[in-house]
Amino acid sequence: MSWGVLETTVLRVTHRDRVVVVKAGGPGDHHIAREIRAHREWTAPLVDRGRAARLLHADLEAKLLVTEHLPGALVQDGPAVSDPETYRQAGELLAALHGQLEVVDPDFEASANRKVLAWLDRPHRIPADDAARLRRLIRSWPEAEVVCVPTHGDWRPRNWVIDEAGTVRVIDWGRADLRPPLEDFERLDSGEFVGRPEREEAFIRGYGSDPRRTPAWFRQRTRAGISAACWSFAFGVPELEQRGLRMVAEALAEA
């Protein structure tokens, strides 16, 4: 059940006629700890609605967790990926996740800028002149405090499942953290929403507002494009690398 890129193993296990999901992380894994924290602190609004799995067992030291198994099939690559109703439900669920808590973080922007500058110092295929321009751009950005909320970190169809009744549920909390709400809009904006306004409109309708209407959205998209291009080059994910390079080019054209 795992994607095979990170050192996390995911198994579907039947025990005494009950189906559960077991996740185990390798020595360098950081996702299990994030997922355990998310289940313990932030998933309750979705669990209470039956839209996320309940945590059954967790061991931080062993990098192991067990959750309920959710019914349904992945939205990604299925017919529901084209249905605006899927996105309306996903927007509604995201609003419930984001709406439970707000934390002011005075260091988020500075930390995010340091991380993305570090990516630019690693091997990548961003043209040298563009990389130099990106460095200058990032260093010019304001680093004011921001409001962070519980975010999923990979909110898109590959982490949604849908059952035969058309109910959408959310899986895989391995990138969850406190971040600005924009974080959970970026991957859809650069992927499933491109050229498909009906999906975007349905998602915003479900969410109830559009937090992208701020200057911070440009900074978020630029950092995300750089990170995607550099990370995917390091891990050999060509499709994601091309998306990241496209996002970088769009950001530079807009700057």
End-to-end CA, the chain: 40
Q: In what order do the strands lie in the sheet with 8-15?
A: 8-15, 18-25, 64-68, 55-59
Is residue 92 included in any domain, yes or no?
yes
pLDDT at 4: 52
Is residue 200 included in any domain, yes or no?
yes
- On whether the CB atoms of residues 184 and 153 are closer than 8 A, the answer is yes
Cα gap 252→255, rounded to integer Å? 5
- On whether the CB atoms of residues 35 and 42 are closer than 8 A, the answer is no
Counting the structural domains of the chain, the total is: 1
Is residue 58 included in any domain, yes or no?
no
- On whether the CB atoms of residues 72 and 80 are closer than 8 A, the answer is no
pLDDT at 16: 85
Is residue 245 included in any domain, yes or no?
yes
Amino acid at position 240, single letter: L
Looking at 99-215, list the stretches that DSSP marks H as alpha helix, in order from N- to C-terminal side.
108-120, 128-139, 183-189, 197-207
Q: The domain containing residue 113 runs over which residues? A: 71-254
User: What value does the mean pLDDT take over residues 172-196?
Assistant: 97
Give how far Cα 131 sits from Cα of 111, 137, 202, 243, 246, Å: 19, 10, 36, 16, 14
Amino acid at position 184, single letter: D
Six token digits for residue 58 = 């967790």
Structure confidence by residue, pLDDT tens digits, 150-168: 999 999 999 999 999 999 9
pLDDT at 77: 87
For the chain, the average pLDDT equals 95
Judge whether residue 7 has pLDDT over 80.
no
Residue 216 sits at φ, ψ, to 5 deg, of -65, -25
Is residue 26 included in any domain, yes or no?
no
Is residue 168 included in any domain, yes or no?
yes
- Give the three-class secondary structure for 212: coil
pLDDT at 1: 53
Judge whether residue 5 has pLDDT over 60.
no
Sign of CA dihedral 210, 216, 218, 224: negative
Is residue 63 included in any domain, yes or no?
no
Question: For the residues of 22-74, what is the DSSP string, one character each?
Answer: EEEE-TT--HHHHHHHHHHHT-HHHHTTTSBPPEEEEETTTTEEEEEPPPSEE
Cα gap 162→153, rounded to integer Å? 19
**Greatest CA separation found in the chain?**
60
| Beta pairing partners, 177 | 151
Amino acid at position 104, single letter: V
pTM of the model: 0.92
Place of tokens 């109703």: 85
Residues of the chain with pLDDT > 70, as a percent, come to 98
pLDDT at 8: 86
Q: What is the dihedral of CA 31, 203, 53, 36, to 10 degrees?
A: 20
Judge whether residue 175 has pLDDT over 90.
yes
Is residue 217 included in any domain, yes or no?
yes
CATH number at residue 112: 3.90.1200.10
